[in-house]
């Protein structure tokens, strides 16, 4: 595999007021993607949480090359015209560096209740919104009639710099998200997966693409692994389980689930586990850093100087 086939970025684990400095530093370290996610009524994991697009706008102004990824933007909370306008503006302002990472949410139903939305309709709302946004990105007048959204000759000006629009990376875990990725997306960015499940999802999306008659030659296969770096796997697992435990609710022993899905422990162990995702088909990696705030800079630097060089041909 050529070194150029693999691309790496990371989420923003620091405080929002530090976004500009962090984005510039990550660009200097050689990261190709700067990513920011969002929730509305609680953090991810519980704690402060900000809207992703403003943070990425701050990062855009502080950088020149690094690409900006929403990881993820919760589409059900947006109207198509608003989302098309916001994302087109960010793409223009950044010189065409924006990637729209999307998901449907649902971990916190209270968010939907507060917004006057029905959580069970989040998938249909997302599909309609993405369909309409792609049409609006053309800059031409759009008339659209869906179950949740209606447009009558709506348009945005200017359209995005990237044509026909920014890449759309679809996130999720279930089969419906895979079909959404094949139908509306340019990439697949699942979360909380192990390598075998990632491989299975690649096969399912390719099959869905064939059913739709869609050419997936340039489709982008993205891995979004949680990573916690400590001297031992056990110490890393304990930290990851504690920090992620408030975000996801699963039956059984959660720490063993963390061990199955996350990159944990010393650098060598994280490299070996990440290789399994790459062998399963991943070509773009967005590290979701899971650690206490005071450990964030160490993680960012360790990934950039010891993990990424292993895959990019550097000395480490």
Q: Is the pLDDT of residue 251 over 50?
A: no
Q: Is the pLDDT of residue 248 over 60?
A: no
Q: Is the pLDDT of residue 148 over 60?
A: yes
Q: Is the pLDDT of residue 250 over 60?
A: no
pLDDT at site 48: 64
Interatomic CA distance for residues 228 and 292, integer angstroms: 10
Q: Is the pLDDT of residue 315 over 50?
A: no
pLDDT in tens, 9-68: 999 777 889 999 999 999 999 999 999 999 877 644 445 678 999 999 999 999 999 999
Percent of the chain clearing pLDDT 70 (strictly above): 93
At residue 247 the predicted structure's pLDDT band, cuts being 50, 70 and 90, is low
pLDDT at site 255: 87
The per-residue pLDDT of the chain, averaged, comes to 92
pLDDT in tens, 157-189: 999 999 999 999 999 999 999 999 999 999 999
Residue 269 exposure: Cα atoms within 13 Å on the Cβ side: 18
Non-local (6+) Cβ contacts of 116 within 8 A are none
pLDDT at site 74: 96
Non-local (6+) Cβ contacts of 188 within 8 A are 169, 170, 178, 181, 201, 202, 205, 219, 220, 221, 222
Q: Which phi and psi angles does 230 have, rounded to 5°? A: -145, 170
Interatomic CA distance for residues 37 and 46, integer angstroms: 13
pLDDT at site 120: 94
At residue 314 the predicted structure's pLDDT band, cuts being 50, 70 and 90, is low
Helices then strands (H, E): number in the chain?
12, 13
Contact between 86 and 165 (Cβ < 8 Å): no
How far is residue 133 CA from its own chain's centroid? 18
- The CATH code that applies to domain 3-312 is 3.20.20.30
Domain coordinates of the chain in residue numbers? 3-312
Q: Is the pLDDT of residue 288 over 80?
A: yes
Q: Is the pLDDT of residue 101 over 80?
A: yes
């Amino acid at each position: 595999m050529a070194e150029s086939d693999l691309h790496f970025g990371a989420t923003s684990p620091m405080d929002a007021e530090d976004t500009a400095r962090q984005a510039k530093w990550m660009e200097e370290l050689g990261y190709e993607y700067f990513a920011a996610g969002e929730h509305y009524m609680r953090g991810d994991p519980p704690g402060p949480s900000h809207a992703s697009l403003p943070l990425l706008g701050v990062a855009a102004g502080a950088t020149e090359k690094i690409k900006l990824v929403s990881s993820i933007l919760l589409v059900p909370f947006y109207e198509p015209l608003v989302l098309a306008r916001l994302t087109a503006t960010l793409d223009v302002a950044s010189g065409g560096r924006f990637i729209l990472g999307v998901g449907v949410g649902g971990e916190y139903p209270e968010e939907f209740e507060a917004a006057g939305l029905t959580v069970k309709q989040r998938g249909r709302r997302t599909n309609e919104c993405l369909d309409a946004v792609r049409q609006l990105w053309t800059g031409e007048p759009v008339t659209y009639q869906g179950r949740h959204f209606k447009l009558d000759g709506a348009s945005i000006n200017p359209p995005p710099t990237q044509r026909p629009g920014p890449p759309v990376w679809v996130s999720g875990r279930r089969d419906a998200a895979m079909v959404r990725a094949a139908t509306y997306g340019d990439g697949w960015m699942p979360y909380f997966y192990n390598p075998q499940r990632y491989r299975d999802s690649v096969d399912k999306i390719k099959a869905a693409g064939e059913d739709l008659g869609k050419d997936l030659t340039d489709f982008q296969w993205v891995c979004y692994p949680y990573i916690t770096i400590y001297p031992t796997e056990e110490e890393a697992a304990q930290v990851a389980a504690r920090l992620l435990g408030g975000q996801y609710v699963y039956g059984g022993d959660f720490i063993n689930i963390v061990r199955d899905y996350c990159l944990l422990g010393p650098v060598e162990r994280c490299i070996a586990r990440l290789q399994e995702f790459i062998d399963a088909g991943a070509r773009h990696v967005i590290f979701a850093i899971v650690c206490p705030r005071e450990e964030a800079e160490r993680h960012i630097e360790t990934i950039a100087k010891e993990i990424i060089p292993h895959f990019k041909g550097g000395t480490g």
